[in-house]
Structure 1
């Protein structure tokens, strides 16, 4: 609990029942440093979008807020305080966007209890994930009992995987989770004290030189009509550039919101054709509800991929606000997803163009406040990108339609390692929902893995190889991530949380194993349904 000043002591004490009633009326109440914040007025201004706030309504979001926001932003949030909460650990509600129920003022009923684990889906990262070539024990039993209902089989998998996560990770009781929170905050202070939040601008000078070389080689070969080498270097330029846009989106360069955002837009929109605003809205939700099948847009890739058997039930995405149907297209792609993984990754950038324009044209970003003008800068950036790339390069500089086609395909396919890297750190990890009692640090480490690589290859991975550390400290400058790895490992050993670290090749094997496992579950589900339907026909 944070200490309060004399002025802050004037805030009234809000009983838990009062906060529940306010949320039932549609108020956006979160808990930060022992205070209740009412964020209704801030929703339309929030640069990270409204969804990120909605997912922490009714919860103690202290670590999420501290991790994702600058000191200036955190100071600004104090104006939204409406009261204090009772001393001791706040017992989280399940937020409305995630299906939580809140009693109104005059509504009777038992006190809402947060469970130690929900009945929702899960997957685990353990040795079994790589070794289960023939499927899990529950899968085998279903194949023996082909008449068993397919949904019952999926529910059994859900419970089994939650059980495995509960066995592998620290207990969800209050004492254990409070100790993890305390140790995590101590680690945060150690990292700040070591100066690791200070950006290494010399590293960016090297980055900028590398970008200029790649772009120069792209132009050099383009002028000589060597289209394939030109396309390769343009793709490498885009691949490398995204890492700095990621840094800027997290305010990891200058730590100034406006400056870093403009840097990010110049890189992402003007040079790469991708919307930084879309990325921030999407990515902030990802950092809050990492690897949740219903809520994390970074793992919602139906109909092409399903990394959890729960997608086979047709889940509703709270981010896209639609049901992700397990339809005919999904049944086909998921049945072969482990074979098509790298092929689809070759074309992933095209989908990002679509999402970027959708975000800008639909006005999904803030319409008021300090971030409102970013939409117009992004629109200008998109026009500029399609002018220099779409018209200047594709139409004016390349001769012949086949040359244009191959230039387009090659330049975009070269960015494939970036998309593999992004999915690598999460596709192989747990998708289990262990309930609202799990603290931020444990949830991040349970759903994210790091990739081991030699120091000289850091430029290739661009900091994304330290995703677990990045999820613990999102605003951390990426050139300092490796320096903090030992401290994070010590923290994990101290609190008993497994630190997932794979080599790049082994990590890819684990991802392919996960995709193959879900494909196998899809085949079992189809078999169960076919048997069930035949049985029903026989009754008539």
Structure 2
């Protein structure tokens, strides 16, 4: 009997032109390019465990690298059933509809059927962050520099319209794009193809060296640490040291998150259901947070990293704005609402560099809110391989509030004042985790360099690593290697330090700056970025006030 794979090899696939693919997308089809094949994935949208939005951001694009690093070989092979044809030659990406791409149905403007990118399919009708356009004849030079200088350090090369706040923001956007174009390799096809080729060779080398294989002994040590911390929490609870007990409970949650993160990326057993159950037990049963919500959020984050309009991990309005573009009241494609720059946002962002650490003390309470909304409104898949995850998560959440809320807080602590202290301390102790998560992205570029930028270059441009001694790895939990993790999300965290050396060599070879800061230096850069946006908010406010005085609308 001929196998399915054998039949696939024997099949003669229809060759689709770029114009034909555009026409299918204009009809509402979800088309992605994978290893040179055209995939129509509409039927998979409601089954995708990571949610449909992660797929929407790949429509019209070559998704080979994103699919390879985020999925198991089994899931990757399953996608072959959605093939409908192939493309010839090098694929030129469209701007996905969710990001503002405009597509022409077949039959319109038939004189443009040649495989050249029409302007309408590469630009949003209303984009506050216009993508960069690379002129191959210009030959922009890559300059490797340390650190990420402020946008304001770029020379003033454009004249700002008087009293025009939006013109001021547009000028800042162009400066940020210019800075990245000067620091990173050119965006022409030959350069980006070479980066992708060497990145895939690196992937194979990492696989050959066994760095995708999990170190279960290391997880045994982790479990011993978790158990000792939890026992310490119970001991101090028993003797009435409630603040100390709360400290150890917070430390317990802090450590658990790292393993839940690994499981969510299938980085432990590499089996979807096994790792999902491990993640749900840790996140829901022991931590009260939804692993399903995290997957929907985090998968999008890994694809559109540091995009103000699309990445939910940097969308914290009205509390924080890490880019001046948030001051233009952007619409979030993830939350499907406008992040309004209103009076509350104006007040909070003007002091965000001072309130950053204070607000992160309460970050865990916001995660409860997001988790409950995800589970209550049934936003996860109800069919497909993950259909039962929501039910297990709901059971886990009820279990968590039973042991934590009722048995621990209500039954074991005698007074309301002591209960409040216990809850606040246990939640505030997790603040370093929130600092760690934001640290690797808040300081990095939010510029949109367009559809020609390769996946590895974008990840390295928008993500940084935190340097720390090896003995502190347990405290950072692998999240200090965020640049490495974004390039290879499924590598177990205990192998990330070894992988870092290989990635550094890759960056040196292709000319991509590798962002590496110490923990203190990284925090200073983040605070500097928040302060810079706060200053731009003050300038915008002055522009608006001046425009009001002059009667400009």
Partner residue of 1:254? 269
Partners of 1:218 and 1:126 lie apart in 2 by 46
* Counterpart pick for 2:53 among 51, 73, 92: 51
What is the CA distance between 1:112 and its match in structure 2?
Answer: 1.6
3-state SS in 2 of match to 1:233: helix
Partner residue of 1:480? 495
Partner residue of 2:138? none
Partners of 1:532 and 1:405 lie apart in 2 by 48
Partner residue of 2:458? 443
Paired residues for 1:234-273 under 5 Å: 234-273=249-288
Partner residue of 1:524? 539
Partners of 2:123 and 2:154 lie apart in 1 by 24
What is the CA distance between 1:346 and its match in structure 2?
Answer: 0.2
Distance 1:108 1:435, change over 3 A: same
Partners of 1:151 and 1:380 lie apart in 2 by 49
What is the CA distance between 1:130 and its match in structure 2?
Answer: 5.5
User: Conserved in 2, the CA contact under 8 Å of 1:138 and 1:156?
Assistant: no
User: Conserved in 1, the CA contact under 8 Å of 2:322 and 2:533?
Assistant: yes
Partners of 1:347 and 1:325 lie apart in 2 by 22
User: Conserved in 1, the CA contact under 8 Å of 2:144 and 2:512?
Assistant: no
Partners of 1:352 and 1:390 lie apart in 2 by 16
Partner residue of 1:414? 429
* Counterpart pick for 2:362 among 313, 337, 347: 347
What is the CA distance between 1:137 and its match in structure 2?
Answer: 5.1
1:56-76 Cα deviation digits (max 9, x unpaired): 000000000001000000010
Distance 1:171 1:413, change over 3 A: same
Unaligned runs of 5+ in 2: 133-142
* Counterpart pick for 1:120 among 129, 148, 170: 129
* Counterpart pick for 1:321 among 303, 314, 336: 336
1:210-237 Cα deviation digits (max 9, x unpaired): 0001000000100111101100000000
* Counterpart pick for 1:81 among 80, 83, 99: 83
What is the CA distance between 1:127 and its match in structure 2?
Answer: 6.0
Matched, 1:19 2:21: yes
RMSD: 2.2
What is the CA distance between 1:107 and its match in structure 2?
Answer: 1.2
Distance 1:336 1:379, change over 3 A: same
- Deviating more after overlay: 189-198 vs 99-108: 99-108
User: Conserved in 1, the CA contact under 8 Å of 2:323 and 2:446?
Assistant: yes
Distance 1:286 1:266, change over 3 A: same
1:367-400 Cα deviation digits (max 9, x unpaired): 1011010000000000000010011111101111
Distance 1:127 1:181, change over 3 A: closer
Partner residue of 2:473? 458
Moved over 3 A (4+): 4-9, 113-119, 121-132, 134-142
Partner residue of 1:72? 74
Matched, 1:397 2:428: no
1:457-489 Cα deviation digits (max 9, x unpaired): 000000000000000001010000001111100
What is the CA distance between 1:345 and its match in structure 2?
Answer: 0.4
Partners of 1:361 and 1:225 lie apart in 2 by 36
* Counterpart pick for 1:312 among 302, 310, 327: 327
Unaligned runs of 5+ in 1: none
3-state SS in 2 of match to 1:37: strand
TM-score by length of 2: 0.92
What is the CA distance between 1:131 and its match in structure 2?
Answer: 6.9
Partners of 2:6 and 2:234 lie apart in 1 by 60
Matched, 1:108 2:123: no
User: Conserved in 2, the CA contact under 8 Å of 1:240 and 1:460?
Assistant: yes
What is the CA distance between 1:85 and its match in structure 2?
Answer: 0.7
Paired residues for 1:295-306 under 5 Å: 295-306=310-321
Partners of 2:149 and 2:248 lie apart in 1 by 35
TM-score by length of 1: 0.95
Distance 1:131 1:521, change over 3 A: closer
Give the aligned length.
530
| Greater RCO, CA 8 A, separation 6+ | 1
1:245-294 Cα deviation digits (max 9, x unpaired): 00000000000000000000000000000000000000000000000000
